Chains A and B, each alone.
Chain A
Amino acid sequence: MKQRFTPLWLLLPAAVVLGGLFLYPMYQLGLISVLDFRQAQVSGGQPTRFVGLDNYVQLFTDPQFWSVLLATVGFAAACVVATLAVGAGLAVLLTRISRVPRLLLSLAAMAAWAVPAVSGSTVWLFLFDTDLGFVNQLLGTEGFNWMYDRYSAFALVGAVVVWSSFPFVMVTLYAGIEAISRSVLEAAALDGASTWRTFWQIMVPMLRPVLAVVVIQSIIWDFKIFTQIYVMTRGGGLAGQNLTLNVYAYQQAFASSEYGLGSAIGVVMMLILLAVTVLYLRTLRRSGEPL
């Protein structure tokens, strides 16, 4: 398999698919974001018009955009921290328990991981339903609507997100911990190191590369959550109080026919996540991972 052009032939299908459905749409996204592109232009009634950075100016002078951006960052940060805390805590727990409880916990986590986002959202909505929800009946708070208040609504959506994404963190970190040789951990135990110290001074440094992957993946996933927000808050909550950038862009484009504005939001999102990705690549390089 040493002929010169073979790898290029093998890569061709992937290149065609990714070029057509990643690169070209990315270029289009940038293009639409500098156009006046609304219902009239979509139906062909009016020609599209180049408006430079007008969409961006309109966006950046709109207080709602800043409030949505802040909510997105805050929501994603809270989800990432909670997911990592739960996932890492349970990964460590898995290493110190007997076989049967370990099997039960990993099966339960696998099941939660497998539940589709839409199903997960509907089940939690039912659990927290105003009158028929088990949680309200249990707490004696019947009649309390979790989706009315901005923060309780975000908290509930966040709970679903953590529930469905902690298994990835747990499983990955657990595999990483298991890969650390027993002798290192036993030596630490013999020297009288506490669990807490072993965790911070042995596991965390040794798991750095795995942790980096898990953290960055979580940031990227949680920053672009769409389904849970859309389904649980019915497209952004009361008066758009639970909008995040993704849902906001979608609503601007497909509900208000402001495609130019929606694309500008999309570009902002791309740039933010690109910055995170660059950070990720630098971490990978620094930890000496061969590509």
Chain B
Amino acid sequence: MRRVLDAFAVLVAAVVIFPIYWMVLAAIKPAGEIQSLHQRPWTLSPSLDAFRRVLAVNDFGRYLLNSLIVALVVVVISGLIAFLAAVALTRFHFRFRTTILVVFLIAQMVPVEALTIPLFFLVRDLGALNTLGSLMLVHTAFTLPFAIWMLRGFVAAVPDELDEAAQLDGASRLTVLWRILFPLIAPGLAATSVFSFIHAWDDFLFARTFIISATDRQTLPMALLVFFKPDENDWGAIMAASTLMTVPVLIFFLLVRRRLVSGLGGAVKD
């Protein structure tokens, strides 16, 4: 029985990974094989033509950089703000604490997509249309509730006695915050970062809405659509661009895999 289940699991794993395999494969196939009416699940003459087309001709390096800048800024700022809020919500007992927690929980459920229209006008009034800053701003806000919720579990796991002992030794509140709590919850921050990073990296809707005319400020998801053409899609380039977009997330994800699960467990159980 176990053997049958093992074999079934491996089969499922193969099916699940297949689209990713196909994406990378199509990205390195020579143009002739992509256009073929008999697609083979392998290639004997891999080429980097599609990548060259994407990076050199269409300046994809710039969009990659734009996406990276936005995502990293969001990760850092949202992580910092969430850390402070998580400390407030776990280390202190004050009136309305539960209310504030519920508000964050509800904020996490808000369909931010529905806010596209007012946010468009807000960003326009700030004069921030066509800037990467507009994307950093909204994604910092969108990732905040979940980050706070998730970090709370990690801060709660650090025993209270630790900061009390440090305070007795004469450490100021700031010192406790930065020298003691912050390093201890670094693993939690790493897990939280993944979610914030992916959220900002994946965003298509707001990039499409805010970056209207400045093509050099585009991020990856929008830039990718350039290769869809009414007459004939350049599948090789689309797959190469998709691969470029997937690889950073994949690496990030696999690196913090274990912490991700424990972090989710914390967020779910608390």
* Extra pairs beyond A13-B85, A22-B107, A115-B246 (17, CB < 8 Å): A1-B92, A7-B94, A25-B118, A28-B118, A101-B6, A105-B10, A105-B16, A107-B13, A108-B13, A118-B220, A119-B224, A123-B22, A126-B26, A175-B261, A227-B221, A270-B110, A276-B109
Query: B179: CB under 8 A from chain A?
Result: no
Kindly specify which of B49-57, B97-105, B185-193 makes contact with the partner chain: B97-105
Contacts A1-B91, A17-B141 known; A226 to B113 CB distance under 8 Å? Answer: yes
List of A residues within 8 angstroms of B198 by Cβ = 114, 116
Question: B190 → chain A, closest Cβ, in Å?
Answer: 15
B160 to nearest A CB, angstroms? Answer: 9
| Least CB distance, B197 to chain A, in whole angstroms | 10
B205 contacts A by Cβ under 8 Å = yes
Q: Which of B219-241 contact A (CB under 8 A)?
A: 220-221, 224-225, 233, 235, 238-239
A-B contact count (CB 8 A): 284
Q: Which of A80-138 contact B (CB under 8 A)?
A: 90, 93-94, 96-98, 101-102, 104-105, 107-120, 122-124, 126-127, 129, 131-134, 137
13 A-B contacts (beta carbon < 8 Å): A10-B85, A11-B88, A17-B140, A22-B141, A32-B121, A97-B2, A101-B7, A108-B13, A115-B20, A123-B242, A163-B19, A176-B268, A254-B116
Asked if B111 and A123 sit within 8 Å, CB to CB, the answer is: no
Q: How far is the CB of B124 from chain A (nearest CB, A)?
A: 9
CA distance A1 to B20 in the complex (A): 50
A21 touches B141 (CB 8 A): yes
B152 to chain A, nearest CB (A): 10
User: In residues 129-185 of chain A, which contact B (Cβ within 8 Å)?
Assistant: 129, 131-134, 137, 142, 163, 168, 171-172, 175-176, 179
Q: In chain A, what residue has the closest Cβ to B116?
A: A250
User: Known contacts A17-B144, A123-B22: does B173 contact A110 (CB below 8 Å)?
Assistant: no
Quick check: is A237 within 8 A (CB to CB) of the other chain? Answer: no
* Cβ–Cβ contact B19 & A123, under 8 A: yes
Cβ-defined contact, A101 with B9, below 8 A: yes
Q: Using A116-B249, A118-B224, A126-B239 as known contacts, say yes or no to A26 and B115 having CB atoms under 8 A apart.
A: yes
Q: Verify B114–A17 contact, CB threshold 8 A.
A: no
Q: B residues engaging A (CB < 8 A)? A: 2, 5-10, 12-14, 16-17, 19-20, 22-23, 26, 34-39, 41, 80-82, 84-85, 87-89, 91-92, 94, 97-98, 100-102, 105-107, 109-111, 113-122, 137-138, 140-142, 144-145, 148, 163, 167, 173, 176, 198, 201-202, 204-205, 209, 220-221, 224-225, 233, 235, 238-239, 242-243, 245-246, 249-250, 252-254, 257, 260-262, 264-265, 268-269
Q: Which residues of B contact A17 (CB under 8 A)?
A: 81, 140-141, 144
Query: Please, which residues of chain B bring their CB within 8 A of the CB of A276?
Result: 109
- A101 contact from B13, B20, B114, B137, Cβ within 8 A: B13
Tell me which of B98, B114, B221, B262 contacts A29 (CB under 8 A).
B114
Ranked nearest first, the 9 interchain pairs of A and B with the lowest CB-CB distance are A28-B118, A21-B141, A266-B114, A10-B88, A119-B242, A114-B253, A25-B118, A7-B92, A7-B88
- Which residues from A are CB-within-8-Å of B121? 28, 32
Point out the residues of chain B lying under 8 angstroms from A179, CB to CB. 265
Complex: A253 Cα to B34 Cα, angstroms: 38
Q: Quick check: is A200 within 8 A (CB to CB) of the other chain?
A: no
**Measured between C-beta atoms, what is the minimum distance from B77 to chain A in Å?**
9
Distance in Å: Cβ of B146 to nearest Cβ of chain A: 10
- Shortest Cβ gap from B251 to chain A (Å): 9
Q: Determine whether the beta carbon of B115 is less than 8 Å from that of A266.
A: yes
In the complex, the answer to whether B115 meets A25 with C-beta atoms within 8 Å is: yes
Collect the chain A residues with CB atoms within 8 Å of residue B250's CB. 111, 114-115
* Chain A residues bordering chain B, tally (CB within 8 A): 92
Contacting residues of chain A (259-283) with chain B, CB-CB under 8 angstroms: 259, 262-263, 266-267, 269-270, 273-274, 276-277, 280-281
Q: In the docked arrangement, what's the CA distance between A231 and B201, Å?
A: 16
Tell whether, in the assembled complex, residue A98 and residue B6 are in contact, meaning their CB atoms are under 8 Å apart.
Answer: yes
Q: Quick check: B118 and A32 within 8 Å, CB to CB?
A: yes
Cβ A18 vs Cβ B17 within 8 A: no
Which A1-25 residues have C-beta < 8 A from chain B? 1, 3, 6-8, 10-11, 13-14, 17-18, 20-22, 24-25
* Contacting pair A112 B92 (CB below 8 A): no
Report yes or no: B249 in contact with A28, Cβ–Cβ below 8 A. Answer: no
A54 to chain B, nearest CB (A): 17
Contact assessment for B85 and A231 in the assembled complex, using a CB-CB cutoff below 8 Å = no
Does the CB pair B87–A118 fall under 8 Å?
A: no
Chain A residues positioned under 8 Å from B205 (CB to CB): 226-227, 230, 250
